Amino acid sequence: MLDQVKGFSVTLRHLFRKPVTQEYPEYRRPVYPRFRGRHQLHRHENGLEKCVGCSLCAAACPADCIRVVPAENPVEGRVSAGERYARIYEINMARCIFCGYCELACPFDAITLGNDFELSEISRDALVYTKDMLLAKPERRTPSKSVELYDVPVQEMERVLGMYDVITATNPEGAPE
């Protein structure tokens, strides 16, 4: 009988610990800067789109979920900085596996994967993101952790700063966050 009680000692000890639950909608855990979430198309500072409709991202996509239809830039009112622009640019988020190959493939840094992951919709059609949706800033931003710590490669840091200071000083023994 005593054995049976002893078997539960670990469980009992857990009763007195602080819960690890995060109250999600109220508390939004920051993601790491390399996190790959919702896509975003970018513009140059002068307002022209970076995307030139080369379809390289569509060729790289393993899930075949990007559709690009390019067109010649009109003489009046250019859309993109290159010769052509993407007349139609669609990503089917229902198929996307968030591998980030489109980001890797794009030679003009026109598409990147952002931090937002709350993408659920009621209908499947709403998951086909058009160019306007991708160019617009997402409504609610997911916070991100320090880029310097979690994105810059170790060796680059060593090279640039000539040092490698340790960040263990903060909270060395505690549970990982």
The site for ligand SF4 (CB under 6 A) is made up of 51-57, 60-61, 63, 65-66, 68, 86, 91, 96-102, 105-106, 108, 110-111
Torsion angles phi and psi, residue 9, rounded to 5: -60, -40
Cα–Cα distance for residue pair 89/58, rounded to 1 Å: 10
156 interacts with, out of another protein, ligand SF4, none, CB within 5 to 8 A per kind: another protein
Which position among 48, 119, 135, 152 is part of the footprint of another protein (CB under 8 A)?
152
Q: Which is nearer to ligand SF4, 100 or 157 (CB)?
A: 100
3 state DSSP class of 139 = coil
CB of 5 to ligand SF4, least distance (A): 52
- Strand arrangement, sheet containing 66-72: 66-72, 84-92, 128-129
DSSP state letters, 21-61: ---TTTS-PPBPTT---SEEE-B-TTS-BS-----HHHHH-
Residue numbers of the site for another protein (CB under 8 A)? 3-4, 6-11, 14, 20, 31-32, 34-36, 56, 59-60, 62, 97-101, 104-105, 107, 113, 146, 148-157, 164, 166-168, 172-177
